[in-house]
Structure 1
Amino acid sequence: MIPNNIMTKKFIKTIVGSLLATGLLLTDAVAQQTPAPKQTRAISIEGATAHLGNGQVIENSLIMFDKGKITFVGSANARIARQGEIIKATGKHVYPGFIAANTSLGLAEIDAVRATRDFDEVGTMLPHIRSIIAYNTESRVVETMRPNGVFIAQVTPRGGRISGTSSVVQLDAWNWEDASVKLDDAIHINWPSIFTRGRWWLGEVSDLKPNKQYPVAVNQLKDFFQRAKLYLQGDRTAVNLPYEALEQVFKGRKKVFVHVNGKKSISDAIHFFKKLGINSVVIVGGHEAEQVASLLSTNNIPVVLKRAHRLPTKEDEDYDLPFRSAKILTDAGILVGVGMSGDMERMSTRNLPFYAGTYGAYGLGKEKAVQLITGNNAKILGIDKQMGTLEVGKDATLFISEGDALDMRTNILTKAYIQGRALSLDTHQTKLWKRYSNKYKNQ
């Protein structure tokens, strides 16, 4: 007979081995695919229609890049030696990688599971909270962005009066350090609402009514910024992290993204920061921004609009006003981008190009719609020297599509690159699609 202790050891060894094997299989099944290696060979894309991201288009283009940087942008008729691998893309389209502003992408995985949600911290005034620390490069939601051409995102916290600090990331990385494109680009403030609704769960009437606490909330913000200013001008003996986080804001090196809607609220917010001497302000949401367009234009304040697919908020508004808002603001000389806050925002971020396409279809035009999520968003986020347009010297963050990338019927990517690295376009969703396509194809 085998001694009990030996049998016990064998049993434990067998169980541990089985668990490890199962764990490895599960890890392989659910983990993000391995990030692409650095570019080692030059690439030339020839014959495609190039949408540069600045409103310009080059038919029959030649785009070349090496070591992660674009080295040539021009006509395929140019007498210039092609470099490295030559990709024939006649009949296809080349775009800069799309940039999603104002999204909590990578900060939560499953809305119904609290442990996976890391976008909202406890507290009210939290400018020192950094979203980048919580960004999850292994998110299965993040990988679903790439097949639609969304390669860059401004990872933004939510909640509180001052939610925290966002950062800009690229969506193919091992960890947040690798992902970072621009660290701590802006703080995000949720401007108080002028109106409020009754709490239905307490039996109150749910109709809109003036918010009596509006001036109180504005004064609290004012007091916070004034105290921070005094602190930063003092000796800072006792360190105050929230106040420290505002130093770069007062110096103009970090932007303030004000999440605000309504004509009066937007106007109040603009004057509020102007009095504080803070000029790097961006309006986010911007419902009724068209009613204060001259004020926005005069103060050179960009607007990050919500998704186009939303309803009017007032009974007397045109049904298509949300679709036309980008056109109205652009015509007024305002720099306009597109953000992703709202219901199902992380999953819906992959639809960014189609929201831009709706803005394009309602007066803005296709190339200016492309600008919303490329060159414009890059300028608003302060990364336009590095990416956002197809220009020599910028990062080779781009893709080839079989058709119009703003149309969900034809936005079919064949090649994609971030900083010159060739991306995998496989995701959990594409694997399931292929699996079940084959099932029904064989029946």
Structure 2
Amino acid sequence: MNYIKIYLVCLALVTGTFGFAQQTPGNKQTTTIAIVGATAHIGDGTIIENATVVFKDGKIVSVGKNNAASNTNGMTVINAENKHVYPGFIAPNAALGLVEVDAVRASDDQDEVGSMIPHIRSIIAYNAESRVVESMRPNGILMAQIVPKGGRISGTSSVVQLDAWNYEDASIKTDDAIHLNWPSTFSRGRWWLGEPAGLKPNKNYSNQIAEMASFVNESKAYLKGTKQPLNIPFEAMEGLFNGKQKLFVHVNDEKGITDAVYFAKQHDIKQLVIVGGAEANKVTGLLKQHNIPVLINNPHSLPANDDQDYDMPFKLAKQLHDAGILVGIQVGNADNFQTRNLPFYAGTCAAYGMNKEHALQLITANTAKILGIDAFVGTLEVGKDATLFISEGDALDMRTNILTHAFIQGRKVSLESHQTELWKRYSEKYKNQ
């Protein structure tokens, strides 16, 4: 009887989750739109006061100072006086659309069986109608890199825009990178076996690196040979060697970062990105020498080690930026829903010494460069996609990040979500009582 009750509860969760449909994606832009009078945050460190931003057919056609000579005849004009306009924020290393309810296995597609599985493509499992995806847009997050988890090589990510019918409509860069979870240099004692509970050197570290090296070498040999018999995981590695794909290495400690950099160089992997990088400030010279960017963990985290400053997560971005490292912010292992707080993570970096516009770059221009999509998004520049939004105030401050309009590729998108609907519903509950 208890099993039946549990089954019915799970069925209700799944039905409630998948029975809900996202708002219909916005219609294709048909008229030229001009945003007038706003403070334009370009995303490259530049601010234009009292600006006019014009976009047509989904592309930005003009960005500049507003003046009496500005011709907006025939355009749909949005008066944004005393408001702010920003490029759409980008969430890298996210599981959006892959997980709906953590406790319901049927709605969790972020982790596949296997250890070396570069051929697993996260985009295939992406659910464009996810409630979680929908809840990102009211905070200005309009694009995301969808990343598989688990295993040693967990698979291949893709970059999407967050207003689509399905994964094919959503994709703006397919199969952009392969993700490698670097082995830890330390492990924790298994207290249940009587071992000390603290950290100790990982005795298998060298063997785990050797396993990765063996897989990479076998992939190279396969790709240079007759490719017989067909080996799909080896086939999926080709982009790393010809430079079409990047290798995102998820690693935090100083030794791990150093070893990962030399591993990539040794195996002629042309493009490397460090994800996590809690101790990247200790190896800035190495990272700069090899032009390797870092996606740091969200700053609302504890220090990686007991001997780190208590505020290291808050000031790490500034330290890397000051050292000349291209740096962005990713949510890391936080709950999937916490991706919506991305702009406030950038705001925390600004609160701890980083220039506000440089902090904005952490989730716009810098991330776009790291993901290889900066040719068409990341800044408010002529020729780029009109993926942008208007906020009543500072978008990096949770008190003033209040969106009035959002556009993805020129389409006006809904800012409603399950949460806003519930807020409106229950805000009326006690008014007349």
Q: By the TM > 0.5 criterion, same fold?
A: yes
Aligned to 1:67: 57
Q: Can you give the 5+ residue segments of structure 1 that lack an aligned partner in the other structure?
A: 1-24
SS in 2 for 1:364: coil
Larger Rg: 1
User: Which residue pairs with 1:15 in the alignment?
Assistant: none
Structure 1 segment 41-440 matched on structure 2, within 5 A: 41-77=31-67, 79-82=69-72, 84-344=75-335, 346-440=336-430
Question: Aligned letter for 2:246?
Answer: K
**Superimposed CA distance per residue, residues 399-424 of structure 1 (whole angstroms, 9 cap, x where no aligned partner):** 00000000000000000000000011
Instruction: Identify if the C-alpha distance between structure 1 residues 199 and 66 changes in structure 2 by more than 3 Å, giving closer, same or farther.
Output: same
Tell me the secondary structure at the aligned position of residue 38 of structure 1: coil
| TM-align CA RMSD | 1.4
Shift of 1:316: 2.1
Give distance in 1, aligned partners of 2:394 and 2:186: 41
Q: Write out per-residue CA displacement over residues 361-418 of structure 1, whole angstroms, 9 at most, x where no aligned residue.
A: 1111210111000000000000000101000000000000000000000000000000
Counting aligned pairs with the same residue, the percent is: 62
1:38 aligned residue (25, 28, 33)? 28
| Secondary structure class of the residue paired with 2:82 | coil
User: C-alpha displacement at 1:29, in angstroms?
Assistant: 7.2
Return 5+ residue gaps in structure 2 as ranges: 1-14
Q: 2 CA distance for matches of 1:36 and 1:28?
A: 21
Distance change (3 Å), C-alpha of 1:247 and 1:29: closer
| Post-superposition CA distance 1:110-163 (Å, at most 9, x none) | 011111110001000011000000001111111000000000000000000000
CA distance in 2, matches of 1:198, 1:175: 45
Amino acid at match of 1:210: P
Runs of 4+ in 1 over 6 A off after TM superposition: 25-29
Q: 1:78 to 1:341 in 2, by over 3 A?
A: farther
Letter in 2 for 1:388: G
Query: Structure 1 CA distance, aligned partners of 2:37 and 2:71?
Result: 15
Q: Deviations over 1:327-371 (max 9, x none)?
A: 000011000011112131x10011100011101111112101110
Q: Please give the alpha-carbon distance, in whole angstroms, between the structure 2 residues aligned to 1:277 and 1:163.
A: 20
Distance in 2, matches of 1:42 and 1:203, equals: 70
Distance, in Å, in 1 between the alignment partners of 2:384 and 2:193 is 56
Change over 3 Å in CA distance of 1:288–1:78 after alignment to 2: farther
Is contact 2:137-2:415 (8 Å) kept? yes
2:416 is paired with a residue whose SS is coil
Shift in Å, 1:81: 1.4
TM-score normalised per structure 1 = 0.92
Give distance in 2, aligned partners of 1:30 and 1:332: 47
Shift of 1:60: 0.3
Distance 2:382 2:166 in 1: 28
Alignment partner of 2:261: what SS?
helix
Supply the distance in 2 between the matched residues of 1:336 and 1:247 (Cα, whole angstroms): 26
Superposition map of 1:2-13 within 5 A: none
| Equivalent residue letter for 2:103 | A
- 3-state SS in 2 of match to 1:228: helix
Helix, strand or coil for the counterpart of 2:34?
Answer: strand
Q: 1:201 to 1:113 in 2, by over 3 A?
A: farther
* Alpha-carbon distance in structure 1 between the residues aligned to 2:191 and 2:116: 27
* Alpha-carbon separation, structure 2, partners of 1:360 and 1:343: 21
Offset, 1:27: 9.5
Q: Deviations over 1:222-263 (max 9, x none)?
A: 111011111111111211111111111100110000000111
Task: Decide whether aligned partners of structure 1 residues 49 and 219 sit closer, same or farther in structure 2, where only a CA change above 3 A counts.
Answer: same
Q: For the residues of structure 1 that align with 2:226 and 2:68, how far apart are their CA atoms?
A: 61
Q: Secondary structure at the match of 1:48?
A: strand
Secondary structure at the aligned position of 2:353 is classed as helix
Partner of 1:440, secondary structure, is coil
TM-score (norm 2): 0.94
- Partners of 2:254 and 2:279 within 8 A in 1: yes
Distance 1:347 1:26, change over 3 A: closer
Which amino acid counterpart does residue 417 of structure 1 have in structure 2?
F
Q: What SS does structure 2 have at the residue aligned with 1:107?
A: coil
Q: Give how far 1:312 is off.
A: 1.1
Per the alignment, do residues 259 and 47 of structure 1 end up closer, same or farther by CA in structure 2, a change over 3 Å counting?
same
> What letter matches 2:382 in structure 1?
V
Q: Secondary structure at the match of 1:368?
A: helix
SS at match of 1:70: strand
Please report how far the alpha carbon of residue 79 of structure 1 lies from its aligned counterpart in structure 2 after TM superposition. 2.9
